[in-house]
């Protein structure tokens, strides 16, 4: 299966955008023209200040679920210089990339947590859980956090057919020249990767043949289906790789095009010597070559070398390169990128998490006490670190790996596609580990940006803004009967409620307008409209806040484990027992306290109508009790005029009139409303600036329920269901801290014993966590993930055992 363009490594991407770059003339002027390195450094620094790279990591409670169970997760956000998005979008996708579940998770201090109740009707399959921010939608979806989990429907998992998925016996072979190109006459290293239809690496060996059928190189995979070989392309030659796969199958694949002219790179990494980057070219003309090493929004190293007799050498001090993945980009004398290479420096800085139980073995319904402590480098306490803890039973179904936050943030999030066992590259040592890391970077490396965007005279536009305070809702306004944008229209968004929320915005040249909804939780309705006196015909469409782009990564098919029918049946029985005997507190959502203050703050005049004699006509209420608002009748009906107390005059324009936060422009309908449904009336007796809008006073009516009480809205008002931020579901676990609780005959067959996403290291010694075992004997896995206040990741895991007493 060919790799999509968005996921090709830099070595392949370079060949695509290089021709376009060659058309660009020199950009630098003045001092920058005399100092190309400074020009490149400043251009990249300026771009990366605008294109801040955010990363998300999700700690899921388990790798395997039954339909009907709850999936718990914690969001960790990382960016440079710091995490700034306040909302994370989390989705569960099926194999066709259709969203099954979606949620908006509030992110505070770089963390957040949430849950999904998996539908009982959810089909068995391998699902993708992904997470991203609005800002991340400006970039390739390969940067989104993605993890595959298995969900089994107990009614069909044991004997049902496998979910349709990629052909597990379909193999693919891809080749990636080091630096970006194969150039005739220049010896090159070529990385290759052999994958199955599920995207996992496959062991293989092969030969490289020229057009005459002569073997010019032999190769074989080292780890996870990846390897490399070197050869010198000859002028006019074409090359074919013959790859022998498991089961005797043979594939023939052509190598990438061989160019007559160009540059190739060679990176030599010997711990006993400086890091050596060699540039070779077909040109014999002397030329100055430039090198930039950049990583995580920073330029770490800049150097230049002379290309003499077709070769230039850069000797690099690896200690000057930051830990993690660095991108080494080589430019020619005209400051055009000609080749790129990745280098990985194993991180030594990490958040050290120590967690230990008070004993290795427990009886059913016995307390487990965990001592959790954190430390940074060099072994100093790390106060403020945010941790999450999951404890679940290990059985034949829960066999999937548990990704750790360190290997993801340091490595897996920096390269495209799926990195099998990323922890190997951070923990393994020796020549084989170094060679395997080199193969990974040859086959799965690419840039987060395009150099033409960096050097462009006009900065690139990012259509998705960062959500600094809460979800941003975007709408598109188009002219009636066409798809042409309707610019310059003042638009209002409201959420009917007793808490008066109103947003206003002006549509831009593309007809787009956006609103911020920082404190809206749970499901509800939103209403979007324009002022009919300004426009009465435009069409309003709310845009989907979730990403509709997906990397073309294969997802393995779900294969029923026919050898474990008893395990499916047992888990299903346990689930049903827990559901029947569940505590009423199980699954309850907890919402944060809402600010009940209206968007306009404290009103100048407030009238609680129950304190007055109630009239049956709203006009009488206004005339008798609200002297700050004058009621006038004209040819088109009722109008309000607010008394300007500050200037001792009366506004001649209509004020903004709200009913439960919804603008009302037809006062005739409002005056026909039963005043007995209205509890409160508030008035702003001065001009009020609200975003791009200016109101000549404001009159706000609030009903008892905050639901408009059946008020007939204008037909042109767009009313749409909206899911706000997800509240925090409470994880319930029984406590057996009394003799009566321990003797309870209610069964406790929990598979997930403990989930705590809100553990904070204090820096004053180990923190004590306590939970109770259930009635099931077996081994239980404890997984602790965390992120320090300075952004260092860390994780640890261990097991303990529960045994029935003899």
What is the DSSP track for 206-265?
EEEEETT--EEEEEE--BTTEEEEEE-PPTT--EEEEEE-GGG-EEEEEPPPEESS-EEE
What is each CA distance from 797 to 352, 366, 381, 751, 784, in whole angstroms?
12, 21, 19, 17, 6
**Residues 523 and 619 both lie in one domain:** no
Examine the domain organization and report whether 521 and 619 are in the same domain: no
Alpha-carbon distance 806 to 600, whole Å?
Answer: 69
Instruction: Check residue 11 and give its pLDDT.
Output: 35
Report the 10 Å Cβ neighbour count for 754: 21
Instruction: Give the distance, in angstroms, between the CA of residue 678 and the centroid of all CA atoms in the same chain.
Output: 44
The least confident of 1-15, 65-79, 323-337 is 1-15
pLDDT at position 679 is 96
The pTM of this model reads 0.89
Q: Are residues 631 and 712 in the same domain?
A: yes
pLDDT at residue 728 is higher than 50: yes
Pairing of strands 656-659, 662-663: antiparallel
Lowest mean pLDDT among 226-230, 347-351, 673-677, 698-702: 347-351
In-domain check, residue 733: no
Evaluate whether residue 714 is within a structural domain. yes
pLDDT averaged over the chain?
87
Phi-psi region of 577 (alpha: psi -120 to 50; beta: other; left: phi over 0): alpha
Inside any domain, residue 739: no
Q: What is the tens place of the pLDDT at every residue in 81-133?
A: 566 899 999 999 998 999 999 999 999 999 999 999 999 899 988 999 999 99
Share of the chain above pLDDT 90, in %: 63
| pLDDT of res. 291 | 95
Structure-block tokens of residue 76: 């960790």
| Residue 392 covered by a domain | no
H-helix or E-strand spanning residue 569:
helix 565-580
Token pair recorded at residue 564: 């474990």
Give the H or E element holding residue 431.
helix 431-443
**Domain membership flag for residue 784:** no
Burial string for 520-547 (b: 16+ CB within 10 Å, else e) reads bbeeeebbbbbeeeebeebbbebeebeb
Q: Is the pLDDT of residue 354 over 60?
A: yes
How far apart, in whole angstroms, are the C-alpha atoms of residue 465 and residue 487? 19
- How far apart CA 255 and CA 239 sit, in angstroms, is 6
- The residue-averaged pLDDT of 674-696 equals 95
User: Which pLDDT belongs to residue 33?
Assistant: 46
**258 forms bridges with which residues in the sheet?**
182
Mean pLDDT is lowest, of 43-47, 507-511, 560-564, 619-623, for 560-564
| Same domain for 632 and 705 | yes
Sheet with 298-307, edge to edge strand ranges: 298-307, 287-295, 324-331, 337-345
What is the SS3 assignment for 331? strand
Cα–Cα distance, 672 to 677 (Å, whole number):
12
| 587 vs 726: CA distance, rounded Å | 13
Q: How confident is the model at residue 587 (pLDDT cuts 50, 70, 90)?
A: low
Q: Tell me the pLDDT band of 149, cut-offs 50, 70 and 90.
A: very high
Q: For residues 704 and 441, give the distance between their C-alpha atoms in angstroms, rounded to a whole number.
A: 63
Q: Are 493 and 526 in contact (CB under 8 A)?
A: yes
Least confident range from 135-149, 386-400, 636-650: namely 386-400
Q: Which of 703, 723, 743 is the last residue of a domain?
A: 723
Q: What is the mean pLDDT of residues 625-649?
A: 93
| CA-wise closest residue to 783 among 806, 750, 747, 754 | 754
Contact between 10 and 446 under an 8 Å Cβ cutoff? The reply is yes
The share of the chain scoring above pLDDT 70, in percent, equals 88
> Does 718 lie in the same domain as 614?
yes
**What mean pLDDT comes out for the span 270-293?**
91
CA 713-714-718 angle, 5° bins: 85
pLDDT band at 248 (very low <50, low <70, confident <90, very high): confident
Measured distance CA(55)–CA(77) in Å, rounded = 6
Question: Does 674 fall in a domain?
Answer: yes
The phi and psi torsions of 401 (rounded to 5 degrees) equal -70, 160
pLDDT of residue 515: 95
271: three-class secondary structure by DSSP: coil
End-to-end CA distance of the chain: 56
What are the residues whose beta carbons fall under 8 Å from the beta carbon of 691, sequence distance 6 or more?
503, 504, 505, 506
Cis peptide preceding 670, ω within 30 of 0: no
Alpha carbon 494 to its chain's center = 28
Closest C-alpha to 398, from 25, 751, 759 = 751
Residues 620 and 523 in one domain: no
Reduced 3-state DSSP string for 35-74 = CHHHHHHHHHHHHHHHCCCEEEEEEECCCEEECCCEEEEE
Give 231: exposed, middle or buried? Use CB within 10 Å, 0-12, 13-18, 19+.
middle
Q: Dig out the tokens for 586 from the structure.
A: 């199980």
- List C-alpha distances in Å: 471 to 134, 465, 467, 516, 746: 9, 10, 6, 6, 43
Which structural domain, as residue segments, surrounds residue 668? 605-723
**Alpha-helical regions (H) of 650-693:** 667-671
- Is a pLDDT exceeding 60 seen at residue 498? yes
| 701 and 618 fall within a common domain | yes
CA distance 508 to 485: 9
Mean pLDDT, range 637-646, rounded to an integer: 94
**Higher-pLDDT residue of 580, 258:** 258
Sheet-wide strand order for 125-132: 64-66, 145-152, 125-132, 87-93, 99-106
Assess if residue 576 is contained within a domain.
Answer: no
Confidence at residue 582, expressed as pLDDT on a 0 to 100 scale: 64
DSSP 201: B
Q: Kindly tell me if the per-residue pLDDT of 15 is higher than 70.
A: no
Upstream peptide bond of 81 is cis (omega within 30 degrees of 0)? yes
Q: Do residues 322 and 298 touch, judged by C-beta distance below 8 A? A: yes
The last residue of a domain, from among 723, 748, 783: 723
Query: Do 613 and 719 belong together in one domain?
Result: yes
pLDDT of 577 > 90? The answer is: no
What torsion do the CA atoms of 682, 687, 690, 693 make, to the nearest 10 degrees?
120
Distance, CA of 790 to CA of 376 (rounded, Å): 10
Domain total in the chain: 2
Looking at the structure, tell me whether residues 533 and 609 fall in a common domain.
no
Asked if residue 609 and residue 532 are part of one domain, the reply reads no
Banded model confidence at residue 16, pLDDT cuts 50, 70, 90 = very low
- How large is the average pLDDT for residues 529-543? 91
Residue 84's closest CA among 12, 48, 133, 38?
A: 133
Q: What is the pLDDT of residues 213-241, one digit of tens each?
A: 999 999 999 999 999 999 999 998 999 99
pLDDT at 741 over 70: yes
Between strands 70-79 and 512-516, the pairing is unpaired
Residues 524, 724: contact at Cβ < 8 Å?
yes
pLDDT for residue 451 is more than 90: no
Same domain? For 619 and 527 the reply is no
**What was the pLDDT predicted at 44?**
87
CATH number at residue 653: 2.170.130.10
Domain end residue (candidates: 671, 688, 723): 723
Query: In this structure, are residues 217 and 293 in contact, taking their beta carbons and an 8 Å threshold?
Result: no
123-137, 168-182, 339-353, 522-536: least confidently modelled range: 168-182
Nearest CA-CA partner of 760 in 249, 330, 388:
388
Identify whether residues 610 and 535 lie together within a single domain.
no
Residue 187 has pLDDT above 70, yes or no: yes
Let me know if residue 565 belongs to a domain.
no
Q: Between 397 and 686, whose confidence is greater?
A: 686
Residues 6+ apart with CB under 8 A from 96: none
């Amino acid at each position: 299966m060919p790799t999509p363009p968005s996921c090709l490594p830099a070595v392949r991407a370079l060949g695509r955008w290089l021709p376009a770059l060659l058309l660009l003339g020199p950009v630098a002027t003045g001092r920058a023209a005399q100092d190309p390195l400074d020009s490149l450094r400043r251009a990249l620094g300026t771009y990366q200040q605008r294109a801040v790279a955010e990363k998300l990591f999700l700690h899921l409670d388990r790798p395997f679920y039954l339909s009907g169970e709850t999936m718990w997760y914690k969001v960790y956000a990382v960016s440079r210089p710091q995490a700034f998005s306040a909302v994370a979008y989390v989705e569960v996708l099926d194999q066709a990339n259709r969203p099954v579940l979606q949620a908006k998770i509030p992110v505070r201090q770089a963390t957040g947590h949430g849950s999904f109740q998996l539908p009982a009707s959810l089909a068995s399959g391998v699902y993708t859980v992904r997470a991203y921010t609005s800002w991340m939608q400006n970039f390739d979806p390969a940067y989104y956090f993605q993890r595959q989990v298995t969900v089994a429907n107990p009614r069909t998992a044991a004997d049902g057919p496998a979910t349709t998925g990629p052909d597990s016996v379909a193999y693919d072979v891809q080749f990636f020249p080091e630096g970006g190109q194969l150039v005739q006459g220049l010896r090159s290293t070529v990385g290759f990767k052999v994958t199955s239809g599920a995207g996992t690496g496959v062991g293989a060996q092969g030969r490289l043949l020229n057009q005459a059928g002569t073997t010019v190189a032999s190769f074989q995979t080292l780890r996870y289906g990846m390897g490399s070989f070197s050869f010198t392309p000859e002028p006019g030659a074409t090359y074919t790789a013959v790859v022998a796969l498991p089961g005797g199958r043979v594939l023939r694949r052509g190598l990438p095009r061989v160019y007559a002219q160009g540059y190739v790179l060679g990176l030599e990494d010997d711990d006993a010597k400086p890091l050596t980057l060699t540039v070779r070219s077909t040109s014999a003309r002397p030329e100055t070559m430039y090198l930039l090493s950049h990583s995580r929004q920073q330029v770490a190293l800049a150097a230049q070398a002379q290309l003499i007799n077709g070769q230039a050498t850069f000797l690099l001090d690896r200690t000057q390169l930051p830990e993690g993945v660095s991108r080494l980009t080589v430019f020619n004398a005209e400051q055009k990128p000609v080749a790129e290479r990745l280098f990985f420096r194993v991180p030594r800085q990490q958040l050290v998490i120590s967690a230990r139980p008070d004993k290795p073995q427990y009886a059913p319904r016995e307390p487990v006490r965990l001592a959790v402590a954190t430390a940074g480098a060099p072994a100093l306490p790390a106060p403020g670190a945010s941790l999450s803890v999951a404890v679940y039973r290990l059985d034949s179904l829960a066999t999937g790996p548990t990704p750790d936050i360190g290997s993801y943030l340091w490595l897996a999030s920096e390269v495209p596609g799926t990195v099998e066992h990323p922890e190997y590259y951070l923990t393994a040592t020796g020549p084989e580990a170094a060679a395997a890391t080199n193969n990974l970077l040859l086959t799965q490396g690419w840039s987060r940006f395009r150099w033409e965007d960096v050097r462009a005279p006009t900065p690139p536009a990012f259509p998705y803004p960062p959500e600094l305070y809460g979800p941003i809702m975007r709408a598109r306004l188009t002219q009636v009967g066409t798809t042409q944008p309707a610019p310059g229209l003042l638009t209002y968004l409201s959420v009917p409620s007793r808490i008066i929320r109103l947003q206003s915005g002006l549509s831009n040249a593309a007809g787009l307008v956006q609103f911020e909804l920082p404190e809206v939780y749970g499901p509800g309705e939103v209403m979007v409209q324009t002022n009919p006196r300004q426009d009465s015909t435009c069409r309003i469409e709310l845009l989907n806040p979730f990403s509709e782009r997906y990397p073309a990564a294969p997802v393995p098919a779900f294969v029923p484990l026919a050898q474990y029918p008893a395990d499916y049946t047992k888990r299903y029985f346990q689930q049903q027992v827990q559901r029947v005997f569940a505590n009423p507190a199980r699954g309850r959502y907890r919402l944060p306290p809402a600010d009940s203050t209206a968007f306009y703050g404290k009103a100048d005049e407030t009238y609680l109508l129950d304190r007055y004699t109630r009239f049956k006509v709203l006009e009488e209420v206004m005339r008798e009790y609200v002297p700050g608002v004058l009621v006038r009748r004209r040819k088109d009906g009722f109008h309000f005029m607010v008394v300007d107390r500050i200037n001792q005059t009366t506004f001649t324009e209509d004020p903004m009139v709200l009913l439960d936060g919804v603008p009302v422009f037809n006062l005739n309908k409002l005056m026909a409303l039963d005043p007995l449904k209205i509890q409160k009336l508030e008035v702003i007796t001065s001009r009020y600036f609200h975003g791009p809008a200016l109101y000549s006073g404001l009159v706000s009516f609030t009903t008892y329920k905050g639901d408009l009480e059946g008020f007939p809205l204008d037909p042109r008002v767009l009313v749409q269901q909206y899911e706000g931020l997800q509240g925090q579901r409470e994880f319930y676990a029984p406590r057996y801290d009394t003799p009566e609780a321990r003797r309870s005959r209610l069964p406790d067959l929990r598979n997930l014993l403990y989930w705590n996403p809100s553990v904070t290291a204090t820096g004053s010694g180990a923190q004590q966590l306590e939970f109770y075992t259930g009635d099931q004997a077996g081994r239980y896995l404890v997984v602790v993930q965390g992120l320090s206040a300075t952004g260092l990741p860390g994780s640890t895991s261990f097991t303990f055992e529960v045994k029935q007493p003899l």
